[in-house]
Structure 1
């Protein structure tokens, strides 16, 4: 069999799996609905396993969406979140012959001549594409992220399955209205298909973190990039979990870099990295000593209205000073509707959890006695139980990736067993804060990278 036939069969099989997964998800949905209809309680775990098995037949965008959903507390029941988090988001890599054809489609017949070296074997394979190491003619090491073919139709098919899962959850008496969450996830995943936009995101991060040497951002190479091919500088580094056994000072240094990587762009520019996944950063060293982190992926970036950032700071200061009016104002700015004393108290359960480490002026761990996978689950359950008594609450769509970033970062700090004064770190990031200043610097930065 030729390489071409082999690749054709591989992607025909991929298409067939999409059809099968859709049918499987529908079958599990009917099973879950029947369980609820006939009052067969206590079967959530087995239903969750069946759903994960149905989804697990496909490697691709749906895995990315499923894992994303699992990291947002209380969007799906805990049993489902636990199963979805086990899924792997790696797609089978494209073979050498197919890579050559894909590169020719993106850069033309003479694509190979534009590199001094190009490794046809991928160094990493993910849900939407795979990464190849290359070398420019001037000796610069490069990372070329090449998107799998036909990903747009695959993503649309997967997002339709996402809507099935969410609508099922709503019919099961969900206390959080997920309609806005679906819109947010769909918008961000579609954005990830556009590698030109991701290159602009990387340029934005280079600008925002230019004076933060403990965080390195790769430089995009526009002449070797297209909508479906992103070429950037290669950043050498190793996995952050390799440093779990390092000295406390090293683990704290890396954790501080992670804190700055997420909160500095948000507090100064209203921009946040919505995917603090362990595979999206590595550790760089100098003279054999770990110094900071490489941020590698810029597909899932959220740009917030400056007023939203103001709400985050207002809620922090309201909780810190016991200023009830400021707390309520923050929720109103974010777009929560129908605020009552009861609802405010419920929202404060989650707020005090997220802000807890920032409110205490002492060196501490992010949390005690919980694993990274369990971080936030207890508080999400408390909120869920409290909301059961008052009916569905619509969560503003901006919260999807804000919450995800907070939970993801907390997991990193737990992995590294960091001991930091989060309060002073946060205060340093919001010193001199004003919504007007964020609006001005955000507009200038977005204009400079072509995102305005």
Structure 2
């Protein structure tokens, strides 16, 4: 879809952001979950081991569906937390349950202008607001805020203002405590895994995403670092109108990645876009140690202009997070080990980031090694253990046919049953979120690319510096 007018959706006239209101809603969810869990546990007393395994899987799937149905009615951190749980859920939930969690999308119903207008007025004050003219109909809505087209006196450009929903920042801590109770009652998480680290990470991420001052800082950094790369466009901020609750920036038009105009680009053009996406990821992680970890398709637009090659518009830097240099170096060892089929390098790197321990049994280590080899398939055309049909004669990978993260997920699901399984470090979760997003983007674009030189060069910059 291009940036032309979108059909209007019904708007919410009120937001349920007060902790007491939200807690009452989720308390009702919790009571129901507890009763269903008790009934399920009673039923298991009369089931065989195989029957219990199947019944437990079916129970989790039903509970996750109920969880999603309820969260879908609430804005703010609970919906966003549900989305984030899908990232972690792949490590311990049935694939069917993860798919249900992933249905909590950000393209949600918007709230009425009367709800967000007070945020703009109180944040900017009358003097600044008198110069700003905002279209009350939003152009995009998400779980934590929405965006509107705007005009500023003395500025001929079309602008975009992103506004945080009132009260969502203050509801995060209460929401996460309630979700923790629901997860325990719903028995979503295996007993040997503590959900607290998971919930702490989601809480931290949510506070970061509702801090628009943080997002503005990240936007400036990316705009500065990509200023000399003509393949990318980053919005320009209007600094006098950026606060912790709203951001005013240039409106950057472009086509959706899913639009017909992008799908019908030539193979050469789509390959060039895919190369740009991959090289951007390498720059972010290996060079800058600063990664925009949300690969949602809505965060990208493709600028199509007759006189220039297609360009990528980058939007929404709220999920940007820093990675410690020692983590980047250890992860680079893992990737190089996977490319070179060096199990010890992979295991050493995994121990270096706290994902494994040297005392783990050899089969556990080798399961992890095989998972990394699976993820590295696109960069291993010369190895005998990869699928030859995935590569063209020149070594280019057929990204549209790639399913390496799906296959790796199957290995993870089996590994999660082990008593040696550890919840991956928070950095891994969000890094793999973005890396999987890059793979999916290249697949969506139907790229046929050999990206080994780019990845090997990035690894060398880290490991041979």
TM-score, normalised on structure 1? 0.84
Partner of 1:343 in structure 2?
364
Q: What secondary structure does 2:273 align onto?
A: helix
Contact 1:103 1:111 in 2 (8 A): no
Change beyond 3 A, Cα 1:250–1:400: same
Partner of 2:139 in structure 1?
123
- For residues 168 and 58 of structure 2, the distance between their equivalents in structure 1, rounded to whole angstroms, comes to 35
Give matches, 1:149-188, under 5 Å.
149-164=166-181, 166-167=183-184, 173=190, 178-188=195-205
* 2:34 is aligned with 1:11: no
Partner of 1:364 in structure 2?
397
Partner of 1:202 in structure 2?
219
Between 58-67 and 218-227, the greater mean CA deviation after superposition = 58-67
The CA deviation at 1:148 is: 0.8
Change beyond 3 A, Cα 1:281–1:36: farther
Deviation string 1:205-243 (CA, Å, 9 cap, x unpaired) is: 123323322121112222111110111221111101112
Q: What secondary structure does 1:317 align onto?
A: helix
* 2:331 is aligned with 1:312: yes
Correspondence for 1:390 among 419, 423, 434:
419
The CA deviation at 1:283 is: 0.8
Give matches, 1:216-227, under 5 Å.
216-227=233-244
- For residues 350 and 431 of structure 2, the distance between their equivalents in structure 1, rounded to whole angstroms, comes to 14
The CA deviation at 1:170 is: 6.9
- For residues 233 and 422 of structure 1, the distance between their equivalents in structure 2, rounded to whole angstroms, comes to 33
Q: What secondary structure does 2:147 align onto?
A: strand
* 2:354 is aligned with 1:321: no
Q: What secondary structure does 1:144 align onto?
A: strand
The CA deviation at 1:158 is: 2.8
The CA deviation at 1:174 is: 5.8
Between 34-43 and 65-74, the greater mean CA deviation after superposition = 34-43
Give matches, 1:11-410, under 5 Å.
11=15, 16=21, 19-28=24-33, 30-32=35-37, 34-36=39-41, 38-39=43-44, 41=55, 43-44=58-59, 45-72=61-88, 73-115=90-132, 117-136=133-152, 137-164=154-181, 166-167=183-184, 173=190, 178-242=195-259, 243-287=262-306, 291-339=310-358, 340=360, 341-360=362-381, 362-366=395-399, 368=401, 370=403, 376-410=405-439
- For residues 271 and 367 of structure 1, the distance between their equivalents in structure 2, rounded to whole angstroms, comes to 28
Deviation string 1:336-382 (CA, Å, 9 cap, x unpaired) is: 35332233212223322222223336201236375xxxx63442232
The CA deviation at 1:90 is: 4.3
Structure 2 unmatched ranges of 5 or more: 1-10, 45-51, 383-394
- For residues 244 and 58 of structure 2, the distance between their equivalents in structure 1, rounded to whole angstroms, comes to 45
The alignment's C-alpha RMSD in Å is: 2.9
Count of matched residue positions in the alignment of Structure 1 and Structure 2: 425
Contact 1:184 1:400 in 2 (8 A): no
- For residues 232 and 268 of structure 2, the distance between their equivalents in structure 1, rounded to whole angstroms, comes to 17
The CA deviation at 1:313 is: 1.4
TM-score, normalised on structure 2? 0.82
Contact 2:30 2:185 in 1 (8 A): no
Contact 1:60 1:89 in 2 (8 A): no
Contact 2:29 2:182 in 1 (8 A): no
- For residues 297 and 432 of structure 1, the distance between their equivalents in structure 2, rounded to whole angstroms, comes to 28
The CA deviation at 1:298 is: 0.7
Change beyond 3 A, Cα 1:275–1:36: farther
The CA deviation at 1:103 is: 1.4
The CA deviation at 1:119 is: 1.7
Contact 2:147 2:163 in 1 (8 A): yes
- For residues 177 and 17 of structure 2, the distance between their equivalents in structure 1, rounded to whole angstroms, comes to 20
Contact 2:144 2:168 in 1 (8 A): yes
The CA deviation at 1:291 is: 1.1
Between 244-253 and 166-175, the greater mean CA deviation after superposition = 166-175
The CA deviation at 1:28 is: 2.7
- For residues 226 and 90 of structure 1, the distance between their equivalents in structure 2, rounded to whole angstroms, comes to 24
Contact 2:293 2:321 in 1 (8 A): yes
- For residues 459 and 229 of structure 2, the distance between their equivalents in structure 1, rounded to whole angstroms, comes to 16
The CA deviation at 1:268 is: 0.4
Change beyond 3 A, Cα 1:328–1:389: closer
Contact 2:256 2:302 in 1 (8 A): yes
Partner of 1:413 in structure 2?
442
Structure 1 unmatched ranges of 5 or more: 1-6, 438-452
- For residues 220 and 299 of structure 1, the distance between their equivalents in structure 2, rounded to whole angstroms, comes to 14
- For residues 252 and 446 of structure 2, the distance between their equivalents in structure 1, rounded to whole angstroms, comes to 25
Partner of 2:391 in structure 1?
none
- For residues 411 and 191 of structure 1, the distance between their equivalents in structure 2, rounded to whole angstroms, comes to 25
